[in-house]
Chains A and B, each alone.
Chain A
Amino acid sequence: MTAMQHVSLGAHYAVHLPAPDDFAFWCERARGLVQGDVPPDRVSWIEPGGTGDLFASEGHQGSLARGEKRLPPPPADPRPVRASQRFLTVARSAALHSERTRFGLLYRLLWRLQSNPRLMEDTADPEVRRCEELAKAVRRDAHKMHAFVRFREVIEEDGTPHFVAWFEPDHHILRAEAGFFIRRFANMRWSILTPRGSIHWDGETMREGPPARREDAPQGDPVEALWRSYYASIFNPARLKVGAMLSEMPKKYWKNLPEAELIPQLIAGAQARETAMVTAGARAERARPASLAEVAQGAGACRDCGIADCGTRAVAGEGLPGAPLMIIGEQPGDEEDQAGRPFVGPAGQLLDDHLARAGIEREAAYVTNAVKHFKFTWKGKHRLHQSPGAKEIDTCRWWLEAERSLVRPRIVLALGASAARGLLGRTVSVTRERGRAIRLDDGAELWVTVHPSYLLRLDGAARAEQAALFSADLAAVQARLAALTG
């Protein structure tokens, strides 16, 4: 029969598909129908349990009941049915879509392809476009299945692990995507349960099973606690982008993702966490001090780091602007805090001895500390010195820089690693840097040596050895000072 004859006879054909994802069956029937010259509007495609497309609901039920019996016999010399590679690729995906009209759409395209072999290139054609959209939705669903299936481990009676997942795909993709999971988990025993059917892999063969319910899957897995911890920790609260997350992981998937239950609390806590990070590092905005007196006053009122809250006072530097030498210690100690002057305790006295022996006049130098407040812990009735942290040194660096720009020394002598950090902004090794000048950005020379309190902690031969090195460092500074100031 020709197409015209089908129409004039009012013929109508119904094809019952054995399964909603049986693309091969559709291909075979569609080929026969094209060969029989049956126009698209004379065919209904019916899924198992379905009533076909819109046509069927318009009162043609009676004629459809006879189903495939009415398919026309193939002509004696069937003409070849052609379809482009592109059509096959797109149609294979689109056939898995859950929309009922998909097979009719595919048949219409196949029909049109016979007269226009390059039809699929015309993506502005509404039917081609629609087909591409269906295929795209199916591919996305498959991709999300690869991503969001979550296996839970159960130990079977024979002692072997069995990984079982519950997943709810939007389309008929389960069978088509089984291959992905087989290739990935070839040597594992696993099952994927869905409302449309289930698949089981035992390491060698795949078995298909009936639709399942959520309750059929295991309800938990101890590893999920670790996974949730990972999920919460890898999240950066300082860059909240909820929209970006939702577009890729829509809420409909959340109920089957063990980590998703954390999302609301992570979002709720994010801003608080970021604010806490920013305020923890906050420094007050203030103008650069114009005189050393302003530095002393400002440092006394400064609360940029936690040390200031110890209830101690800021110990200001001593000396005059223009002093050629600036001597920097770590931080005031117990006696310095009480006296309000730098280097007056045991370490200060040791320093004074060594300075005198090296011929350096302390009164002509500017003496200060990298950190202005005394940091300590109580031990009984004593205040025990605690080293300032790198961050505290870096915070207090602002005051040290202010002092240095006012004094403008030619040589800066840093006693210990904390003082060196206060000047350089990085931690250096004193043993590696001592005995030579480091040029600072304003042209001054930085000389690094140990802190005198280090000598106080040593005994006997070690102390004598270190004291000699310390003296040598001071002598080198004195020699350089003499050379520079002439």
Chain B
Amino acid sequence: MAQQSLRQRLEILADAAKYDASCASSGTAKKNSLGGKGVGSTEGMGICHAYAPDGRCISLLKILLTNHCIFDCHYCINRKSANTPRARFTPQEVVDLTLNFYRRNYIEGLFLSSGIVRNANHTMEQLVEVARILREEHDFRGYIHLKTIPEAEPEIIHQAGLYADRVSINVELPTTAGLTRLAPDKNAGQIEGAIARTKARIVEARDERKRFRHAPRFAPAGQSTQMIVGADGASDSAIIGKASRLYGDFGLRRVYYSAFSPIPDASAVLPLKRPPLLREHRLYQSDWLMRFYGFAPQDVADAAGADGNLPLDIDPKLAWALKFRASFPVDVNRAPREMLLRVPGLGTKAVARILASRRHRTLRLDDVARLTASVAKVRPFICTVDWRPTFLTDRADLRGLLVTKSEQLELF
């Protein structure tokens, strides 16, 4: 076979990496290149350097070291039985690519993952080697996210955490049955065991840094994971329940939901059609409700229909409000923060503004309109000095009034 050019390999290995949804570059320790030899800075806020037409941000150079893989997971484009072109980078090539992109301000850093070649330990060592060259030989101070392989020795995973800002291990599927069926080479217990060990290391390192200023940092941006949605039969409530458990047990920074999407040369075991992208969006909204709005997993389950799935035409917060109409309307001049956060259309920022400004004035509907994005959405659920929704909250067709006509944008 003819030698593949760097560009061809980049195309293959970027294409192979795109099914991992995570691209965050935020929340890590602050660092910059002043006084150093290399380039790079992280200042807390993530930066999206470009957006692809799939609406996803491009913050990191997201590639695989190789897409050769000895595993045969049905949902994965890189499974060994797939008829897909294969390629590999040397660690030095990934380093050069990262630095060349970084110096031109295309990226915030590197997100490196890999198919499993030879065995888990060998693969993990290669990933760590890339991070080591970047950090030690080039004094690179940008963001590094390493995918860790649960089957690898804990000692190698520990090395990864010392170089990387974030490490992640994918739980892949929300149910153990789904994992056994679709990823026969993986083991749910092993995956969660590795996540638990990483959590212990992160907690330990944070504790050491409190006592010794020069203790090494370990994955300062924490760890995250990803679940594939729609490849097995798990309902939205089951997925959210699983996510909530992952957040609780392992202190994960993020759980990513990736709607299973058709891949070239798909396994015949998989459903052919993708689940609606909106389903993924609703899961992210529920995730946000749990993390920032004080919703419990049970609240999300209550918002879901009888089959455990969230409605697609309205967001989960509105779905909850429509089910529990007795809790509304909420008086914006008196209600506590928890109740304001339950009002559809009021985000955390709007709630903070309401709480601050109501100390200075009694809010009228016009005031609320200035503080929120859309007063029309909020109006049925609140009362102000000059506004009561009287019948609106109880109208049987309220849902119909609030559903926004969605339209998928296509060619332009």
A residues adjacent to B (C-beta < 8 A): 118, 121-126, 129, 143, 146-153, 163, 165, 180, 182-188, 221, 223-227, 229-245, 248-249, 257, 259, 263, 266-268, 270-271, 274, 277-278, 280-283, 389-391, 394-395, 397, 425-427
Partner of B51, one of A121, A249, A268: A249
Interface residues on B, range: 35 or more
Known A129-B370, A239-B261: A233·B11 in contact at CB below 8 Å: yes
- For residues 312 through 333 of chain B, which have their beta carbon under 8 Å from a beta carbon of chain A? none
Whether A239 contacts B104 by the Cβ 8 Å rule is no
Query: How many whole Å from B332's CB to the nearest CB in chain A?
Result: 11
Does A259 lie within 8 Å of B97, measured CB to CB?
no
Q: Which of B53-61, B230-238, B373-381 contacts A (4 or more CB under 8 A)?
A: B53-61
Q: Is the interface of B mostly helix, strand, loop or mixed?
A: loop
Most buried by A among B18, B57, B58: B58
A-side contacts of B63, CB under 8 Å: 230
| CB–CB A234/B14 < 8 A | yes
Instruction: Please indicate the chain A residues that have their CB under 8 angstroms from the CB of B338 in the complex.
Output: none
A391 touches B412 (CB 8 A): no
CB of A392 to closest CB in B, whole Å: 9
Contacts of B53 in A (CB 8 A): 235, 240-242, 245, 263, 266-267, 270
13 more contacts with CB within 8 A, not counting A249-B50, A391-B83, are: A118-B359, A121-B357, A121-B359, A123-B357, A150-B106, A187-B38, A226-B10, A232-B11, A233-B18, A243-B55, A259-B50, A281-B266, A397-B268
Partner of B264, one of A143, A242, A280, A390: A280
Contacts of A183 in B (CB 8 A): 32-34, 41, 43
Which residues of B lie under 8 Å from residue A259 when comparing CB positions?
50
Q: Which of B56-90 contact A (CB under 8 A)?
A: 56-58, 61-63, 72, 74, 80-83
Contact yes or no, B62 A234, CB < 8 A: yes
Option from B83, B104, B357 in Cβ contact (under 8 Å) with A221:
B104
Any A CB within 8 A of the CB of B36? yes
Chain A to chain B contacts (Cβ below 8 Å), 9 pairs: A122-B360, A183-B43, A185-B33, A230-B10, A242-B55, A249-B51, A394-B267, A395-B268, A427-B72
Bound Cα distance A238, B412 (Å): 17
How far in angstroms is the closest Cβ of chain B from A86? 10
Q: Which residues of B contact A165 (CB under 8 A)?
A: 105
- Check if B97 sits within 8 Å of A226, measured CB to CB: yes
Chain B interface residues (CB < 8 Å from chain A): 6-7, 10-12, 14-15, 17-19, 32-41, 43, 45, 47-58, 61-63, 72, 74, 80-83, 97, 100-101, 103-106, 184, 259, 261-269, 272-274, 277, 353, 356-357, 359-361, 363, 367-368, 370-371, 408-412
Min CB gap B274→A, angstroms: 6
**A173 → chain B, closest Cβ, in Å?**
15
Task: Across the interface, name the chain B residue whose C-beta is closest to A397.
Answer: B268
Complex-state Cα separation, A225 to B52, whole angstroms: 16
Min CB–CB distance A139 → chain B (angstroms):
10
With A270-B53, A281-B268 already in contact, the answer to whether A233 and B39 are too (CB < 8 A) is no
Shortest Cβ gap from B322 to chain A (Å): 26
Q: Which of B12, B101, B273, B412 contacts A242 (CB 8 A)?
A: B412
